[in-house]
Structure 1
Amino acid sequence: MAAGVGATVLSLVAAALPAAEPLGVGDRLFPTLGNPGYDIGSYDIAFDYSGDKNKPLKARTVIDARVTADQLERFNLDFAAGTVRGVQVNGMDARYERAGEDLVVTPAIPLHKGARLRVDVRHTSRTKGIAHGAWVHTKDGLAMAAQADAAHRAFPSNDHPSDKAYFTFRLTAPKGVTAASGGTLVRRTRAGAATTWTYRLAHPMATELAQVSFGRSVVPRRTGPNGVPVRDVVPTDKRKVLEPWLKKTPAQMGWMERRVGRYPFENYGLLVAEATTGFELETQTLSLFERELLTSDSYPSWYKQSVMMHELAHQWFGNSVSPREWSDLWLNEGHATWYEWNYGAGLGGTPLTRRVRAAYGQSDDWRARYGPPAEPRAAKDGKRSEIFRPIVYDGSAVVLYALRQKIGKAAFDRLQRAWVVEHRDGNASTADFTAMASRISGQDLGGFLHAWLYGKKTPPMPGHPDWRQDKQGGQGKQNRHAPHGEPAKHQGR
């Protein structure tokens, strides 16, 4: 198509369309996240890091998708924090404009259902001055923390966990800087003083689980169960002090595998950052940890290891099996907390029943403050982290304990294994969990789980008629790691 003809077509199409506006996929908690009309199969994202963490990264995002709408004359991408330098759709220049936190694209030729959609966006990625941004400044560079809704502040995307896709990252960095992401390093090329590292994830991933880092790091390697590679990314000068903790990962993986089955991804490891984030994060195959948690003497060994288990458990619960919508967050955090508690108790930490009883005593207060586990209240005043409250961590682990009490340990263990097998690499909802629990237990659990997951009041605990709500307690602390006299620590997600 000639350039002049293309411009004329774009102008005519744009003139016939209503004003651009932010769209979404109807998520109750994040109504403008995600976009209708297409399904993304893969992202190929390039970031060029100059060595100055305050300077925007040069970037390019190539998206391959399929059209799901009957006709797609215009579509939205989530993208809020960068300068767009040009957009092409299927090799032709496309018109683009902003609407809220969306990038609205009008292709030169309307697309029909089933058609291939390749979107090529040349842009920058701002690393500074972004409220609720995805980039974390570390002592020696950058790392990514995109949960829950920040990925689109780093790259154009369909930023909702219901649209998982395959990812490739091409990361260019100056000499002396290690670039890393989740997945496997498939290529490393040098050009002058810069090196480009290409990583590919072998399984689909939700945007909120993306991890990219630039820093003066070393990459220790070891082998996990069944030959799974374990690689960590740690500050070069902290490798020795971190090694006692890093070497525990293979045994932790084995502990989880004995309970829920084979590790679901191609590799695993910890990205340890010299940063204060207030949380640890289960980014896919490469969990983000604050260095201070692992090296400080303020926390006992069993506690540090239980937090490591929390993020590892997420690789099954939340990463491999992702929520269908954000109200299903309890499926991620409740399970990760459940295994954190069990693992910590086995290392000499707080006994499981004592920990559950203490959380049970605060559950009514948490429900009043934050909503029930499967229907948490929406964030207020842009405070996106408000959905990460004790009710979806400790309160949801209490639900799992109640379920085990109701159906018995054997059925509960079968449920856990079946859940991560049946929904591997996909999305699942609270309704899916209820249906599977009923099928495996041979009991109709619809009413039981509805009361526990959606009730304003916490039901009686099966097998423990003497347990009561703590009328004096229940402070509803956002710091979920210290509600019962545990060591004070920031929130693990």
Structure 2
Amino acid sequence: MPIISRRLRAALLATASAALVAAALPSPVPLGIGDPLFPRLGNPGYDVLSYDIGLTYHGSNSKPLDAVTTIEARTTEPLDRINLDFAQGTVRTVEINGLRADFAAADEDLVIQPPGRLPAGAPLHITVRHTSDPNGGQDSGGWLRTADGLAMANQADAAHRVFPSNDHPADKAYFTFRITAPKDLTVVANGLPAGTARNGSETTWTYRTEHPMATELAQVTIGRSTVLKRTGPHGLPVRDVVPSADHKRLEPWLSKTPGQLEWMEQQVGPYPFETYGLLVAATDTGFELETQTLSLFERSLFTQTAYPKWYVESIMVHELAHQWFGDSVSPRAWSDLWLNEGHASWYEARYAEEHADRPLESRMHDAYIRSDGWRATGGPPARPDVPAPGQKLSLFRPVVYDGSALILYALRQEIGESAFDRLERSWVKKHRDSNAATADFVRLASQTAGRDLTSFFDGWLYGEKTPPMPGHPDWHSAKPDGQR
């Protein structure tokens, strides 16, 4: 998500509880996997292997969708109950391995009582019949209402407002989407199309991912859209989804994607997924979003004349870079977000330097001046302040964008361009389709440089003050407001 001032306006996600129709389940308790920034997000005791999400759209983006979510998982410890993250829908029935199960709500958890105690290593086939309600508000995350339908914006903790899930990026899985909608609408989702079936006045569209995906990156769009197809590097299928009335107006921007893909491959290696494209939505969000294989953009980014051409193109590259950094290599905890946004901001800035004569060093110097102030507001890049009970910290703040790109600039200054380039390529190759943490990056950087960089990273990642910039002893950070 690249545009800080606009993103901050939309970062505070409202909470909503799932309406559950259930048999009595004594003392259901919400759980989490221990992420300090989202204590109730994710659930322990099992590993999700795949999601099969069936949705029926009834022609109005204000009506709940009928839904069936099927989860294939495996227990990692003995379980008496199974917690799923879910809110903003009505659960009708739940089955575990083909048997009906009791369930109840606890905060934003769906707590399920299996027919018997489950041992570690047991397969789980969970079927939840429910509704998926798009009426939670544009700022709450999850479903995003567009001028003619719906799209998704699930980052960071809103996928469970759409479907029951283990809603934390640490548990990636394969996805299948089966979306039924009126036949005059177009449906596109993550991954590749796997067929359509017409039944009277409705069409069911199926899509499957070929790589595991975090729940926050799921995308389904339903509307009066045109799908524009082109070819990227090495025959990569590129498809853009745009409002039908705007496809000619948007084409000059969309035609830049194959060249941007080639440029990113020159920096870090092969594109990591089966397809790519832009979803241009007729809605106001205040942000763009790197949903896997189909990045979400506001139409206004391309149609408002106030944005310079170089800026729009660099934002396109920001979301594209996330396909490597954040999507293919996903964070292990939300405090690792600096790895996602720092890298996307880094390649955004690099692209602007090479294609629009916007000097990287000037941008990094400006970030350095502001860095101490950014750190004072919410904590350093890799150690955000923990939110107070009942509150949420806005993760998407300047220190994880240019403040974290500044760390990469300092690292390149410290170890040299050649070692830095090797590190970037090794990082996305070593951790492709998996999760990685800040400690993994520090370890690989040290191995690549041939020396221990722990003390270097400690200051840049965790310090209250910005360390001296290697090669620029004359750079100074301004004191935060209120300090002398």
Structure 2 length as normaliser, TM-score? 0.93
Counterpart residue type for residue 232 of structure 2:
G
Q: Give the equivalent residue in structure 2 for 1:432.
A: 440
Q: Separation in 2 of the partners of 1:298 and 1:473?
A: 30
Counterpart residue type for residue 36 of structure 1:
P
- The correspondence for 1:223, drawn from 227, 231, 237, is 231
Alignment of 1:76-475 (within 5 A): 76-130=83-137, 132-379=140-387, 384=392, 386-471=394-479
**Residues 380, 197 of structure 1: alpha-carbon distance in 2 compared, 3 angstrom cutoff:** farther
The one-character-per-residue Cα deviations of 1:93-129 (angstroms, maximum 9, x if unpaired) are: 0000000000000011221111110100000001013
Structure 2 spans left out of the alignment, 5+ residues: 1-21
The one-character-per-residue Cα deviations of 1:56-88 (angstroms, maximum 9, x if unpaired) are: 00001000000111x211110000110001000
SS in 1 for 2:284: coil
Q: Separation in 2 of the partners of 1:312 and 1:185?
A: 21
Counterpart residue type for residue 113 of structure 1:
A
Superposed displacement of residue 384, structure 1: 5.0
The reply to whether residue 27 of structure 1 matches residue 27 of structure 2 is no
Q: Is the Cα–Cα contact under 8 Å of residues 210 and 273 in structure 2 kept in the other structure? A: yes
Superposed displacement of residue 473, structure 1: 8.0
The one-character-per-residue Cα deviations of 1:377-414 (angstroms, maximum 9, x if unpaired) are: 24568775711000000100000000000000000000
Q: Is the Cα–Cα contact under 8 Å of residues 303 and 349 in structure 1 kept in the other structure? A: no
Q: Separation in 2 of the partners of 1:353 and 1:382?
A: 40
Larger mean CA deviation between 170-179 and 126-135 belongs to: 126-135
Counterpart residue type for residue 398 of structure 1:
L
Q: Is the Cα–Cα contact under 8 Å of residues 84 and 124 in structure 1 kept in the other structure? A: yes
Q: Is the Cα–Cα contact under 8 Å of residues 276 and 293 in structure 2 kept in the other structure? A: yes
Q: Separation in 2 of the partners of 1:72 and 1:174?
A: 41
Q: Separation in 2 of the partners of 1:384 and 1:304?
A: 30
The one-character-per-residue Cα deviations of 1:420-461 (angstroms, maximum 9, x if unpaired) are: 000000000000000000001101100100110000000000
Q: Separation in 1 of the partners of 2:82 and 2:377?
A: 38
Counterpart residue type for residue 288 of structure 2:
E
**Moved beyond 2 Å, runs of 4+:** 377-385, 470-474
Counterpart residue type for residue 242 of structure 1:
L
SS in 2 for 1:36: coil
Q: Give the equivalent residue in structure 1 for 2:49.
A: 41
Q: Is the Cα–Cα contact under 8 Å of residues 264 and 320 in structure 1 kept in the other structure? A: yes
Where relative contact order (Cα < 8 A, 6+ residues apart) is larger, the structure is 2
Counterpart residue type for residue 459 of structure 1:
P
SS in 1 for 2:382: coil
Structure 1 length as normaliser, TM-score? 0.91
Counterpart residue type for residue 244 of structure 2:
T
Q: Separation in 1 of the partners of 2:31 and 2:83?
A: 7
Q: Is the Cα–Cα contact under 8 Å of residues 302 and 349 in structure 1 kept in the other structure? A: no
Q: Is the Cα–Cα contact under 8 Å of residues 379 and 386 in structure 1 kept in the other structure? A: no
Q: Separation in 1 of the partners of 2:199 and 2:52?
A: 20
Q: Give the equivalent residue in structure 1 for 2:18.
A: none
Superposed displacement of residue 345, structure 1: 1.4
The one-character-per-residue Cα deviations of 1:291-317 (angstroms, maximum 9, x if unpaired) are: 110122111111100000000000000
Q: Is the Cα–Cα contact under 8 Å of residues 46 and 170 in structure 1 kept in the other structure? A: yes
Query: How many positions carry a matched residue from both structures?
Result: 461
Counterpart residue type for residue 112 of structure 1:
P
Structure 1 spans left out of the alignment, 5+ residues: 1-9, 475-493
